Amino acid sequence: MTMDKKCEISEENRLDVFVALVAGITRSHAEQILESGCVTVNGKIEPKRKKVKAGDLVHIELPQPETYDVQPQNIPLDIVYEDNDLLVVNKPKGMVVHPAAGNREGTLVNAVMYYCGDSLSGINGVLRPGILHRIDKNTSGLLLVAKNDRAHLSLAEQIKAHSCDRVYEAVVYGNLREDSGTVNAPIGRHPVKRKQMAVIPSGKSAVTHFEVIERLNGFTHIRLRLETGRTHQIRVHLAFVGHPVAGDDVYGPKKVITSLNGQCLHARSIAFDHPTTGERLSFTSDLPAYFTDFLESCRS
């Protein structure tokens, strides 16, 4: 697909920003297209920081979207909210979000593809089912799914701008000293254990806010708000400050609480502006049985 457009802007703008706006794609996808040489300004390939102005002729060649080689599966979904633009899904513990090696079936993506059919976003050049953010296999709770590209772009921008409010609850080892606080520590790939993340100086900025809900016998029930969304962020940050999530078999102590079948971490609520109406929407998921049962065992 080829797109030609003469700039009709009254002030200068960066080329990557302009391409993302005109083509209706994310900034990261615009950068990929620029790097591949598919964009010219007045017949010349220019860097992403090039300022385009009124009168410039920008030629954008968008490649055909890749197909997403995953089969739809009729798997029940716990849908908290649905309209023509989006879904809010309550993911159970044990379900993988995206298919990968060893997990090609039974994922949230398989289920969403079956449920929504063709009504899914295809952002960033891949026809995939609108997954805007992830939670780990053994983390339960709320996820946003976009049904079209316009909704995907709006919601993705809110996540990037931190105006999409995501709140988690967890039970962690030990007694936190403060009633509330912030962990501000960069996260990147573990230098030795490549499947894990770690707090490292060269990592990306990561900020997690926490507050104590209840102090228990040897554990603490806390609420967490994400300011950024790095892989395994909550689990890595809590382990970094000496209070790993109960049941975490990767970042927690070697003696794992096996009855939890994974970390005691739940994506409790999410709030965002609707991509069409602008209305502020907020949804909350009840704590699942594994979580409440563990709380009761800690209290007793």
Residues forming the active site: 136
Can you read off the two tokens belonging to residue 52?
A: 């385009």
Q: Find the length of the chain.
A: 300
Q: For tokens 């900025």, what's the residue? A: 205
CA-to-CA dists, residue 43 to 4, 40, 60, 214, 287, angstroms: 12, 5, 11, 63, 57
For the chain, the three-class secondary structure string (H helix, E strand, C coil) is: CEEEEECCCCCCEEHHHHHHHHHCCCHHHHHHHHHCCCEEECCECCCCCCEECCCCEEEEECCCCECCCCCCCCCCCCEEEECCCEEEEEECCCCCCCCECCECCCCHHHHHHHHHCCCCCCHHHECCCCECCCCCCCCEEEEEEECCHHHHHHHHHHHHCCCCEEEEEEEEECCCCCCEEEEECCEEECCCCCCCEEECCCCECCEEEEEEEEECCCEEEEEEEECCCCCCHHHHHHHHCCCCECCCCCCCCCCCCHHHCCCCEEEEEEEEECCCCCCEEEEECCCCHHHHHHHHHHHC
Residue 160 burial (10 A CB sphere; 0-12, 13-18, 19+): middle
Q: Specify which residues 189 forms β-bridges with.
A: 197
